[in-house]
Structure 1
Amino acid sequence: MLRRWRRWWLQPCGARAVLALALPLVISFASWTVMNFTDRMFLVWYDTSAVAAVLPAGMVQWTLVSFAMGLVSYVTTFVAQYEGAKRRHRIGPVIGQGLWLSLFFLPPLMLTIPLARWMFLAVGHPPHLAELEARYYQVAMLSAGAMLFSAVQAGFFTGRGDTRSVMLVDTAAAVINLVLDYLWIFGKLGFPEGGLEGAAWASTVAQWFKVLCYLALMSSSRYAEYRLADARRLEWPLLRRLWYFGAPNGWQWFLEGAGFTGFLLLVGRLGEEATAASNLAFNVNSLAFIPPLGLSIAVTTLVGQELGANRPRRAERAAWTAFQLAALYTGVLAVAYVFIPDVFLFAYSAGAAGESFDALRPTVILLLKFVAAYCLFDAMNLIFSGALRGAGDTRFILRVGVLMCPIPAVLTWLGTEWFGAGLIFSWVVLTLWTCALGLIYLLRFVQGHWREMRVIEPAVIEDSLEVGVSGAVAELESVSALAKDVD
């Protein structure tokens, strides 16, 4: 047993290697989770109507930005495969193509700001709630450019395996966001009492702070070999290649975001209490979602690097190891959601008006049982879809998105509008949908078509064959040495 555990931990792309890459990302996302948790907590203290508006407004913003985000953030896979193939001079140019594409998407995104109130009224939300949602959306959408730019910049660091820099930038931005949340929501230290809009302004400022931090880091002379100065030039063949592999990823992000947003907007038609309870349950769910998300991005990077070096066995090992870690974490958390849910709700109840929160509590506790039922499958979805992205299997991911993503909104609409179903039916649909997604990506990964896929130029792939052969020899030697050490 000890021998197997040591091999699982120490071998190339084993648990130690996966965690070394993933933990900074987990900390990075966790800092934003804490920020979002506190942001919702402050808004519950300020006004429960405000927290009912935040998640639908934020999800509409995410849905409209998601295609561009999925496209430009795919530079991470290009960077990882160029890094694995030892073609670092190609990394600067691909970062540049991501930035050019980001600029292309900004004008249409900004044009949605005046339409905000109409969008929320159009889906049947009450005028009071639609007004709150529109006010939040109009400020939050000003961060769209920062979201796109920082996604490309983060891809430079994550694709190379430097997730610590991403952690430091994200953590610093989250701290700034957290402080500004308190000051801007409640009007402290000379800040205006902005309430819902104050929360949106705090997030927008923090997002642009990230862009400035990444610019400062990337200006260092130690990155000269990556030719970041070449990022200023349009390189049409590379841009088309990024579009070819990244656009399906972007469409899948859009479809998944649109499906989930449609689900939330339909839940909003069930009333303010149902919306607020769902929002709080999803906010608590982020505790189960964020660590597997960090592991997923780590898997995308490791699979990309190992395939760039023509070492598919290591890439496969990285994915399975990440899933084992994610399963252990989500399993523990699922048990806690079922048996000690009040631990996760204490902070919300501490500062809220007693009657307003007490009305939500039983519903939120019930919804957390659904979260417990699907969180392992959500981790499965994240890990194995991340592995497929690292290989370049984005067209399969797109096909899954086209087929699966409309299901939660369509079934929720049919159930609520035609059969009088309520909140519980909606969450049953969401749970079954999440479980199905996880199983689909697991089966695709097991089939193994991804092992032969690459996103970088064929000439680079051929040049890296020699690297792959030498890497295979090195892996055999390392495994042999590890076995001797264990003995």
Structure 2
Amino acid sequence: MSKQNGFNWWNRPAGGREVLALSLPLIISTSFWAISWFFDRLFLTWYDNQAMAASMPAGMLHWTIVCLPSGVASYVNTFVAQYYGAGQQRRIGHVVGQGVWFAILCLPLFALLVPLSPYIFAGASQNPVQVKFQTLYFQSLLFGAPAMVISNALSAFYTGRGKTGLVMAVNIAGSSVDLFLDYAMVFGKFGFPAWGIIGAGISTGIGHWFNVIVFAVLMLRRVEWKEYGLADSLRFDWPLMSRLLWFGLPSGLPMLIESFGFALLTRFITGIGDVEGAATSLAFNVNAVAFVPVIGLGIGVSTLVGQYLGENKEELAARSTWTGLQFALGFSALFAAAYWFVPDWFIYFHERGASASEFGKVRDLTIVLLRFVAVYCLFDATQMTFVSALKGAGDTRFVLYAAVALTAVFIVGGRVAEMYLHFGVMGWWYVMTAWIFAMAVVYLLRFLHGGWRKMRVIEPELVGK
């Protein structure tokens, strides 16, 4: 292990210890999201194989709808990190308040989608049961959509300042509430009605609202209320809101575009057949075990990049990114090996509770698809790390342009190829793998270009003061 000025890779600034100390609670937090997601799909597999197949396209469409508001609200984290690095604590509460205002402004959109849901899913499948399940699951998920956006804004108050342990505790508690209610509401246990796929969506929403309540109560503490300007947090500030939207919308739009692309992809696959749809849904569910924790690591990287840029320490911001990439690739490589060599470990519980006659074909196809996951999860970890760094600096417009171009190329190109070549489910998984590889390469090259080093999201006159 090399040393410089008495520091080694582990204990130097922006080294392994600092990145891991900030990111580990976030990794654990997002791991609990993955666990909740995993068991949600597991319970639906036990409940009805068609419910499991329906959960993927409906869940993807829900995320497509909510990811833009969530992306903007989450971008509050970058503002908090840069204000914190620049020593502008009283601006922190104010920008958090603008994130909450943005969530409130999104409420009519979520309310409107409830009555429109049957029309959205009409024709999504030739199987009327699939259409019904997709509609019901999407409507039930909308109950928690506002809470997801508000929670992202409120949690940024802590993550942007590096207080990630508290966020971990809240998210673990919320995920635990979700997990308990998920089982109870799907199967009608502990006095709850057996709501099936509706119960799976409602329980997720209750978990999100639980987080909102806990964060709101924690922020009422007097010391934080005074030091971080929380007394003025709910005052609408158009100049600051417009600044949040200027950087936050290009941060959230790539999530919307890519999610829409994945929603189309899963819809194309589901249209091929129930087995292909269920296997794809199960493979994505298993992939979440490796994918979602890297989201937590990415938030940690973005936070450190923002804090160091707020202090005008560009080299340490870059070092944080490379250190984070090493953790992301190491973590993903472990799961890649497991997906390739012991895939049965990840589908054992799904198989135990499902009908053997229905699940056999789903299991065989899922094992094949997990080998695709084993390959692309390394590229996914790479692109997520560099995107997090670019967003932490404020380079959100490049991320937006790249997302538009890459999504158009691979989804439109894949659809045209499928029409002429009829390559089926395997062809779509090759398209998806190539798409993620291309994202990794593009964002790596942008990071190496270095233009992000001079970018800031906070007011220029406040940087480094």
> Under TM normalisation by the shorter chain, which class is it?
over 0.9
Percent identical among aligned pairs is: 43
Note the 1:360-439 alignment, pairs <5 A: 360-439=362-441
Contact conserved, 1:263 with 1:408, CA < 8 A, in 2?
no
Distance 1:378 1:243, change over 3 A: same
2:157 aligned residue: 156
1:17-56 equivalent positions in 2, closer than 5 A: 17-56=18-57
Q: 1:56-75 alignment to 2 at 5 Å? A: 56-75=57-76
CA contact (8 A) 1:113 1:138 kept: yes
Match of 1:343, SS state, is: helix
TM-score for the superposition, normalised by structure 1: 0.93
1:171 is matched with which residue? 172
Q: Which residue number corresponds to residue 104 of structure 2?
A: 103
Alignment partner, residue 283 of structure 2: 281
Q: 4+ runs of 1 displaced by more than 6 Å?
A: none
**CA deviation map 1:406-458 (0-9, x unaligned):** 34432332233333220000000000000110111111101111110000001
Q: Which residue of 1 aligns with 2:442?
A: 440
The residue identity in structure 2 corresponding to 1:241 is: R
**Unaligned 5+ runs, structure 1:** 465-487
Q: Give the TM-score normalised by the residue count of structure 2.
A: 0.97
Alpha-carbon deviation of 1:124?
4.4
Partner of 2:106, secondary structure, is helix
C-alpha RMSD over aligned residues: 1.4
Q: 2:182 is matched with which residue? A: 181
Q: Which residue of structure 2 aligns with residue 472 of structure 1? A: none
**What are the residue-to-residue correspondences of 1:225-374 with 2, within 5 Å?**
225-374=227-376
* Larger displacement relative to structure 2 (443-452 or 220-229): 220-229
What is the Cα deviation at residue 257 of structure 1?
Answer: 1.1
Residue identity opposite 2:201 in structure 1:
A
The one-letter amino acid of 2:317's match is A
> 117-126 vs 6-15, which deviates more?
117-126
Residue 470 of structure 1 is matched in structure 2 by: none
Do the aligned residues in 1 keep the contact of 2:33 with 2:292 (CA within 8 Å)?
A: no
1:266 deviates by: 1.1
| Equivalent AA in structure 2 for residue 23 of structure 1 | L
Distance 1:168 1:2, change over 3 A: same
Q: Which residue in the other structure is 1:139 paired with?
A: 140
Unaligned runs of 5+ residues in structure 2 are none
**3-state DSSP class of the match of 2:95?**
helix
Q: Which amino acid aligns with 2:208?
A: Q
In 1, the alpha carbon distance for the partners of 2:9 and 2:177 equals 39
Partner of 1:476: none
- How many Å separate the matches in 1 of 2:95 and 2:233? 7
**TM-aligned CA distance change 1:183 to 1:59, over 3 Å:** same
Can you list the C-alpha shifts for 1:15-65, whole angstroms capped at 9, x where unaligned?
Answer: 110011111011101111111111111111111111111111111111111
- Conserved? CA contact 1:255–1:406, under 8 Å: no
Query: 354-363 or 371-380, which moves further after superposition?
Result: 354-363
Give 2:451's aligned amino acid.
H
Q: Partner letter of residue 450 of structure 2?
A: G
CA distance in 2, matches of 1:123, 1:411: 21
Return the alpha-carbon distance in structure 1 between the equivalents of residues 18 and 140 of structure 2: 40
Query: How far apart are the structure 2 equivalents of 1:453 and 1:413?
Result: 37
Q: Deviations over 1:302-321 (max 9, x none)?
A: 00000001001110000000
Give CA-to-partner distance per residue, 1:171-203, whole Å, 9 cap, x none.
001111111011111101211111111111111
Deviates more, 1:364-373 or 1:418-427: 418-427
Deviates further, 430-439 or 400-409:
400-409
Q: CA deviation at 1:153?
A: 0.4
CA offsets 1:90-110 (integer angstroms, 9 cap, x no match): 011111111111111110221
For 1:400 and 1:264, locate their aligned partners in 2 and report how far apart those are by CA, in whole Å. 21
